[in-house]
Chains A and B, each alone.
Chain A
Amino acid sequence: MSDDHVYLSLAEGHEDGDARWAFGTGFEDPLYGVSTAVPEGVDPAELAACCLALGDDALVTAQRLAEWTTRAPELEEEVALANIGLDLLGQARLLYARCGQVDGTERGEDAYAYFRDADDFRSVRLAELPNGDFAFSMARLLVLSAWRLAHFERLAASADPVLAAVAAKGVKELTYHRQYAAEWVVRLGDGTAESRRRMQAGLDQVMPYVSELFAAYDAGETVLAVLRQVTEAATLSLPAVPEAAAGSGREGEHTEHLAALLADLQSVARAHPEATW
């Protein structure tokens, strides 16, 4: 057996190089060249609060998506759900970083993710609910992505160049997330009798948490239009939007689920608070 280096031998026998795999090479940093100073006329506290809340939404949503790992209904969905989770995790990281730059604390992303308690989180309550079945998860993903997309489309014009850049990149990702969720809602709604029952139930369970989203950012018309279109294609009925229940994630008022989620998320980091990973 030759003593060739394991990696060198990867190149053996492929004179045409990588073209057969159509590898790409470049990675663009969406924040490259973007100034990090806070522009005139932008209130740093407001900007920080916005980034924090949207960062929290993304982190909590990504965490629930990560919980589907090894439990997805088909292997291709494992890959798809991880893609979405990774996109959101990436958004959370950028938003937390921006928050640290402008809230005066200069904290890093991990300080926000690992060393705040549940009542410091500003995520919407819909994000922290347990995954339920795949139908519930798709209903939740549809509503959250449609809402976040509407918000990000607006923020792409933000006076803060960093938030604008993050939002612009996020719009492309969220368009895909919304599409993915919508397709599943349609398949499950207009699939078998069992899937229809579950999909309708999923929507019914999501709706009580929708008012809270619109109170945080008013995209009610857009989101309801999306839901109407999707539920019609899915041959489902769109439940009415109930009045907001008491308590708002944006005020730090959460269900008991968030504390449980954070206990898991933060466990190793908090066990070694001085450690670098």
Chain B
Amino acid sequence: MAALQTDSTTAADGTPPDLAQRFDDTIARDQRIEPRDWMPDGYRKTLIRQVAQHAHSEIIGMQPEGEWITRAPSLRRKAILFAKVQDEAGHGLYLYSAAETLGADRTDLTERLLEGRQKYSSIFNYPTLSFADVGVIGWFVDGAAICNQVPLCRSSYGPYARAMVRICKEESFHQRQGYELLMTMMRGTDAQREMVQDAVNRWWWPSLMMFGPPDDSSPNSAQSMAWKIKRHSNDELRQRFVDMTVPQAEKLGVTLPDPELRWNEERGRHDFGTPDWDELMRVIKGDGPCNTERIERRRAAHEEGAWVREAAVAHAAKQAAEKQNGAVA
């Protein structure tokens, strides 16, 4: 594969060419780059940004579903949702951990999120209006995340790929639990069925937008694909998600709100309508229904928790000092 790396490989920056060559060869052979390997600066920076934004998405993603834990209408659903949201915290932690192997600092990454310098998935800027939304998020959003994440299990950067394997295994049941809730509701009362269809109507298009803008509007993708940080294009993944989800919707008995959605025999794929890319841009830029709320909640937790974190540090320092004094005496 023709190398697209630009800034890194020659003696111009003093780097021995064989290190750069080793990097290129490793990528070309579909092997893993590990934390101590030499890597182009752009690769490191792009990865930190991608992994961090993925981590931020998991943490922010706790909010729309988390607010339904206290109100879950059965103890079984309560336990399932409580565990799911806990998993999302765990996933964020695994990803921050991967980002830190690249020299990032979690506190710094959190500040970047709060200042809007790093982003999180646009999907979490939409409100959850009913308990059916919990099921639909599991079905659509976790489904889309799986489409996006399974290829990342083969991402070129070792710690990221390994985190993704762990996350995907845990996330596979998140999607199932969401779908199972919807199946139960669709077999239930009229009010439950309407709740499900209403949630589907609101979450379908934002879920398609999760895969990002169309390929012809994605300028940064080419380098990421060359470095094997990104394994498939936005449109490819979006198509895969649609093809996967249509039969599931049929089984469930819900209508996906796209009059242009139909099977195309020639392509062997579904044709579907165009998402409102203006809406995606507005939401990414901060003008979605819940952007402010999501960031403010994260900020509040971070700021209100500061005295607790500081106390733990102070206590640890006291313990360490005591230990030392004990040793000296």
Contacts and interface: CB of A to CB of B under 8 A. Distances in A.
Interface of A: 1, 6-7, 9-10, 12-14, 21, 59, 63, 66-67, 69-76, 78-79, 82-83, 85-86, 89-90, 92-93, 96, 109-110, 113-114, 134, 186-188, 190-192, 194-195, 198, 264-265, 267-269, 272, 274-277
Q: Which 3 A-B pairs have the closest CB atoms?
A: A73-B305, A191-B311, A195-B311
A6 B146 contact: yes
A10 B153 contact: yes
Given A79-B86, A86-B79, 14 more contacts: A1-B236, A1-B240, A13-B154, A59-B75, A70-B297, A73-B308, A79-B93, A82-B86, A90-B79, A264-B70, A267-B71, A268-B72, A276-B187, A276-B188
B315 interface: yes
Contacts of B76: 93, 277
Given A67-B70, A267-B71, A276-B188, A93 B154 contact: no
Contacts of A265: 70-71
Contacts of B306: 73
A86 B86 contact: yes
A86 B83 contact: yes
Contacts of B312: 187, 191
Interface string B238-258: 001000100000000000000
Interface in B126-155: 131, 146-147, 150-151, 153-154
Given A93-B79, A188-B311, A268-B71, A70 B63 contact: yes
Contacts of A12: 153-154
Contacts of B73: 114, 268-269, 272, 275, 277
A92 B301 CA distance: 28
Contact of A71 (B153, B172, B192, B304): B304
Interface in B210-257: 232, 236, 240, 244
Contacts of A79: 86, 89-90, 93
A76 B85 CA distance: 13
A74 B189 contact: no
Interface of B: 59, 62-63, 66, 69-79, 82-83, 85-86, 89-90, 92-93, 96, 131, 146-147, 150-151, 153-154, 165-166, 168-169, 172, 181, 184-185, 187-189, 191-192, 232, 236, 240, 244, 297-298, 300-301, 304-312, 314-315, 318
Contacts of A110: 74-75
A59 B189 CA distance: 27
Most B CB within 10 A of own CB, among A7, A59, A63: A7
A78 B84 CA distance: 12
A81 to B, nearest CB: 9
B133 to A, nearest CB: 12
B301 A72 contact: yes
19 contacts: A6-B146, A7-B150, A12-B153, A14-B165, A21-B166, A66-B78, A66-B82, A69-B82, A73-B306, A74-B308, A75-B89, A79-B86, A79-B90, A93-B79, A188-B315, A190-B315, A195-B307, A275-B191, A277-B77
B285 to A, nearest CB: 24
A74 B66 contact: no
B75 A72 contact: no
A62 to B, nearest CB: 8
Contacts of B78: 66, 89
B295 to A, nearest CB: 12
Contacts of A190: 315, 318
A264 B99 CA distance: 38
Contact of B93 (A1, A75, A264): A75
Given A70-B66, A78-B86, A275-B189, A198 B301 contact: no
A76 B185 CA distance: 34
Contact of A269 (B74, B151, B172, B307): B74
B75 A109 contact: yes
A93 B82 CA distance: 14
Contact of B75 (A73, A74, A113, A264): A113
A215 B318 CA distance: 39
Contacts of B90: 79
Given A6-B244, A277-B184, A268 B75 contact: no
Contacts of B307: 192, 194-195, 198
A275 B192 contact: yes
Contacts of A114: 73-74
Most A CB within 10 A of own CB, among B85, B181, B314: B314
Most B CB within 10 A of own CB, among A10, A21, A93: A10
Contacts of B188: 275-277
A14 B164 CA distance: 13
Nearest to B303: A73
Contacts of A71: 297, 300-301, 304
B305 A74 contact: yes
Given A6-B244, A89-B75, A277-B184, A74 B236 contact: no
A74 B96 CA distance: 13
Most A CB within 10 A of own CB, among B71, B78, B147, B236: B78
Nearest to A64: B70
Contact of B86 (A10, A83, A195, A274): A83
